[in-house]
Structure formats: C-alpha cells, structure tokens
Amino acid sequence: MAMVTIGLPVFNGEAFLRQAIDSILAQSHSDFELLISDNCSTDGTAVICQSYLQADPRIRYVRQPVNVGAAENYNRLVALASGKYFKWAAHDDVLAPRFLEECVRALEQDPGVVLAFARMRLVGEDGEPIAAEPDRNGSAPAHRDPPSRSDFVIGKLPGADYPEAASPDPVARFREVLFTYDPTFPVFGVIRRSALERTRLIDTYFGSDRILLAHLALLGRFTRIDEPLMFIRTHPRQSSSLSRRERAKWITGRHRWTFQPVRQVFGCVIAIFEADLTVRQQWQCLVVRWQRLFRRGRVRQIFHLLSYGGYAREPWL
C-alpha cells in the first residue's frame, strides 16, 4: 500500500496533461500511487494516459463511460484511494520535485495536522511566471509592471499568511478559512485521508471546495510549506473562466440549477454539527457563518434564489 494516493481528475486535458503527470512521477517522495479518472474525454487524453500505464506501475487509469461532472469525478478518486494521505492533482498544474516530500514530512511530524500545502507560483499557458496576484476565483488579473521577485510567489502577498489555520482553536481555523483562504490552492495540498473521509468531499455546486476546507479546519490544523513548490497555471479554459451556466454543467455534468448560495450555507452548518465540537464552539461557528453571509451581502441573493430559482451570480459566498 502506497503512503500517498494522488488523484488526478481530467476532462479534455491533452494540452497540459503530460506536464502534470511528468511532474508527479518526478517527485522525490516516490511512495505514492497515481489514480487518473478520465471524465469521458473526447480529445487525446485517453491516449496520453494509456501511454503512461506501460511506463510506471504506480499509475492506475479509469475512464468514466459518461460525463459524470467534475464533483463526482473528483470524489470517485477518493473512493479508490488506499494511501494514508490523499492529494488531488489538477491536470494543468505542475509540482516541484520536493512537493510531496515536504508535505508528507509535515503531516508525519504532527498528527494534529490534517492538511499540508505549499506556497504557489502563478504561471501562464507557456509555463512562464506571471507577475500578478490571483483573485479569489484563481483567475489572474492584470499584470503589474515592473514586477518584483516576490510578485511571482503566491502567499507572499498582503493578507496571505493565514496564521489562524494552525491555531489549536477550531473556531479560529473555521473563521480563517471562510474569511481569508483562497480555496483554489490549499485544496490541492496533501490531506490526511482519515479526515477527508469524514467530510462530504466536493459537492455539486461551484465553490464547494471552500466548504470542504472549512470542514477540514474543524477537524484539525493546516500547515504551509514556506517554499513555492506548486505551479498554478492560468488559461482561458479553466473552470474559473466559465460563465455560471457553464460552471453548473462543468461540476454536475449537465445543465441544471445548483442553488449554490443556499447549499453553501447549509454545507457549512452540516460541517459544524458533524465535527467534534462543544455546544459553545458550534454556536461560535454559526455566528462566524452568519457574519460571513452578511459581509458578502448574499442574504438578498439567497431570498431571490429561493423565490425564483436560477444560478448564483458569484463563484462562492
């Protein structure tokens, strides 16, 4: 049994898939299995994956017979995992060779840590660094000129230190995730599988990764490796660039209403009551969720959604 299971969900990812797989196979920590779930791709993804099966016995490949949606494709990888730790890998991102080694070391040294991730670098389609701070959706805004060296490192920017995520207080960690974290990056860290399986994983609405992180924060502490060991690629075909209708189809596999704002609120409430919290801590977390709701100004949007249905206007609450 491998120590780490890396789950790589992919749909029509032939443009960047080889680079992602090569970076995984080049990890200095070699005790892992790589599970690839192909969500019924129509491009050359299947051919690329099959070519790697012959080269490395650590790779397993499954192909979905129909498009099951991104959420289900992500979650099926967790069901197939056997490792003590689990990591989702995006088909368009690249890992530095020491990414797994450093994250596993942090988890092994402290049983109270449920998620280890590293600083990130933002790169373009050609793999070259982009001098820009990503917005909350993971998209790259306009470049700043002239860039400094620190501009290329995600996590060295104001407000990106996340000190409370390592707090022994679950309420402080919960607040940090809801108010500060960009879920695009930490969710691709290395997660203690025993904690991950206590959550509801990725749900069928855009932005459920934030709720997943909030649930994990209630279960244990996060730690960040203070080196840029992951390269996040920005390009026009990534999910954060889609319209809200396209996002709904991407995550569910078909066009349908996802009732995103309502489900995010209820997802948080469910996570609060499923975690091992005292009654006082549960109440404090509910207050944090209420504060978040009003800070984002989504109350009116939720009432509108309940009255008329439709898609959320924003990617997350």
Identify the band that residue 254 occupies on the pLDDT scale cut at 50, 70 and 90: confident
User: Does residue 297 belong to any structural domain of this protein?
Assistant: no
Residue among 96, 185, 177 nearest 138 (CA): 185
Q: Which helix (H) or strand (E) holds 156?
A: none
- pLDDT per position as a tens digit, 46-95: 999 999 998 899 999 999 999 999 999 999 999 999 999 999 999 999 99
Distance CA 272, CA 215 (A): 7
User: Does residue 269 belong to any structural domain of this protein?
Assistant: no
157 touches 119 (CB < 8 A): no
Identify the band that residue 126 occupies on the pLDDT scale cut at 50, 70 and 90: confident
Identify the band that residue 252 occupies on the pLDDT scale cut at 50, 70 and 90: confident
Specify the range with the lowest mean pLDDT, choosing from 179-193, 208-222, 280-294, 299-313. Answer: 299-313
Please give the structure tokens belonging to residue 270.
């469910």
User: Does residue 187 belong to any structural domain of this protein?
Assistant: yes
User: Does residue 299 belong to any structural domain of this protein?
Assistant: no
Map residue 225 onto helix, strand or coil.
Answer: strand
Identify the band that residue 296 occupies on the pLDDT scale cut at 50, 70 and 90: low
Indicate the length of the chain as a whole number: 317
CA diameter of the chain: 55
| CATH number of the domain within which 235 lies | 3.90.550.10
User: Does residue 276 belong to any structural domain of this protein?
Assistant: no
Map residue 281 onto helix, strand or coil.
Answer: helix
Map residue 279 onto helix, strand or coil.
Answer: helix
Distance CA 252, CA 71 (A): 7
Question: What pLDDT, on the 0 to 100 scale, is given for residue 128?
Answer: 81
Map residue 116 onto helix, strand or coil.
Answer: strand
User: Does residue 267 belong to any structural domain of this protein?
Assistant: no
Distance CA 39, CA 247 (A): 15
- pLDDT per position as a tens digit, 265-281: 888 999 999 999 999 99
Distance CA 275, CA 159 (A): 27
For the CA atoms of 108, 114, 118, 121, what is the dihedral angle to 10 degrees?
150
Number of structural domains found in the chain: 1
User: Does residue 97 belong to any structural domain of this protein?
Assistant: yes
Question: What pLDDT, on the 0 to 100 scale, is given for residue 35?
Answer: 98
9 or 312, higher pLDDT = 9
Specify the range with the lowest mean pLDDT, choosing from 104-108, 257-261, 282-286. Answer: 257-261
Map residue 107 onto helix, strand or coil.
Answer: helix
Distance CA 68, CA 296 (A): 31
* Domain carrying residue 37: 4-255
- pLDDT per position as a tens digit, 143-163: 333 333 333 344 433 334 556
Instruction: Tell whether the model's pLDDT for residue 196 goes beyond 80.
Output: yes
Percent of the chain clearing pLDDT 70 (strictly above): 76
User: Does residue 63 belong to any structural domain of this protein?
Assistant: yes
Instruction: Tell whether the model's pLDDT for residue 22 goes beyond 60.
Output: yes
